[in-house]
Amino acid sequence: MNPIEILAEYYDRRSKTFEILVAHGELVAQKAAKAAERIVHLQPDLDFIRNAAMLHDIGIQKTHAPGLACSGKHPYICHGVLGRKLLEIIGLPEYGLICERHVGVGISADDIRRFSLPLPVRDMLPVSIEEQLICYADKFFSKNGNGLKPEQKPVKQIAADLKRYGPDKVARFQSWVELFE
């Protein structure tokens, strides 16, 4: 499988969004692969991780995110669900789960109800070690449309950013830090 070719089916290779997706995916793939080296005893699938990291944000094109040159109609929080649908249609359901489960540190059905999120009411929490690795690695890099390579965020900043979503989100992220660092 070639994730760049899959992205190119949905994004113009010359577009700003394609450039952002590829650059972000590469950073997430590198961080996730490095973290996977620390847990070889859990046998993470490195090929799957690299490919999934490149595809995890494929759904952003259908969201309204002008800073990423995306002019879709859906709120950005929907990009995971939209990516899952897209990848399921092309026969890659296991990659679709990565799309859906990487948002935040995962979103529970309770979160969806409590915050009235525009998402299907179901648990969207990372389950497999590969899902957890990509969700973890993704937190370190923001996508940006300013042409600058994003700096890796420090753990303290990520934890502080997660506080507003509840202590359980911070605890989940901290458990990954302990496992993957």
What CATH number does the domain containing 124 carry?
1.10.3210
Question: Is residue 114 pLDDT above 80, yes or no?
Answer: yes
pLDDT in tens, 41-56: 999 999 999 999 999 9
pLDDT (0 to 100) of residue 80: 97
Domains identified in the chain, total number: 1
What was the pLDDT predicted at 147?
Answer: 57
Instruction: Give the list of residues 6+ apart from residue 113 with CB closer than 8 angstroms, or none.
Output: 121
- 3-class SS of residue 123: coil
**pLDDT band for position 148 (50/70/90)?**
low
Domain that holds residue 42: 3-180
* % of the chain surpassing 70 pLDDT: 97
Q: How confident is the model at residue 150 (pLDDT cuts 50, 70, 90)?
A: confident
Average pLDDT over residues 69-86: 96
pTM beyond 0.75: the answer is: yes
Which alpha helices (H) appear in 60-154, and where do they start and end? Answer: 79-89, 93-101, 109-114, 129-138
Q: What pLDDT does residue 145 have?
A: 61
